[in-house]
């Protein structure tokens, strides 16, 4: 997803200055409490805010996560400074430990007769 600055430049280049202006003032249009809810992936915000039709959830989510520390986990979608990059996928340490415990619980003892 493109950053807010990239979108503003894109909209200015193609001539939709009203969209670029709206993106410039997005911090004044959306209160901090809603920004926090967007960070927490609460999609009910879309029903409570009056937004232009072209504003998508992905745009709001990327705006709310700008400037935060760390990377976005692919599993829990939380920002984390402690993460592991596995096959170009960011996984936070919390999710990684949960996956490891699931593997251990679900592991079945090997039966030598299965290989004959």
Dist. CA 8–CA 15, nearest whole Å: 11
Shared domain check, 111 and 61? no
Alpha carbon distance 17, 7 (integer Å): 11
Q: Domain range holding 110?
A: 79-115
pLDDT at residue 113, rounded to an integer: 66
- Predicted TM-score (pTM) of this structure: 0.57
Residue 73 lies in a domain: no
pLDDT of residue 78: 77
> Tens place of pLDDT for every residue, the chain, 116 residues?
567 888 889 988 998 889 999 999 998 999 989 988 888 888 999 999 999 999 999 889 888 877 666 677 878 877 777 777 777 777 888 888 888 887 666 556 666 665 55
Going by DSSP bridges, is the β-strand pair 83-86/71-72 parallel, antiparallel, or unpaired? unpaired
Q: Are residues 8 and 63 in the same domain?
A: yes
Claim to verify: residue 14 and residue 52 sit in the same structural domain:
yes
- Clarify whether residues 83 and 63 are in a common domain: no
- Per the structure, the count of domains in the chain is 2
Residues 6+ apart with CB under 8 A from 74: 89, 90, 91
Residues 12 and 44 placed together within one structural domain of the fold: yes
Query: In this structure, are 25 and 58 located in the same domain?
Result: yes
């Amino acid at each position: 997803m493109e950053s807010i600055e990239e979108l503003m430049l894109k909209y200015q280049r193609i001539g939709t200055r009203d969209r670029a202006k709206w993106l410039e003032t997005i911090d004044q249009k959306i209160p901090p409490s809603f920004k926090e809810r967007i960070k927490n992936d609460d999609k009910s915000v879309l029903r409570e805010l009056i937004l232009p039709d072209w504003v998508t959830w992905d745009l709001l989510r990327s705006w709310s996560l700008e400037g935060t520390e760390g990377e976005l986990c692919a599993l829990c979608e939380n920002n984390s400074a402690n993460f592991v990059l596995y096959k170009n996928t960011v996984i936070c340490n919390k999710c990684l430990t949960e996956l490891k415990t699931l593997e251990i619980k679900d592991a079945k003892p090997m039966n030598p007769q299965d290989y004959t």
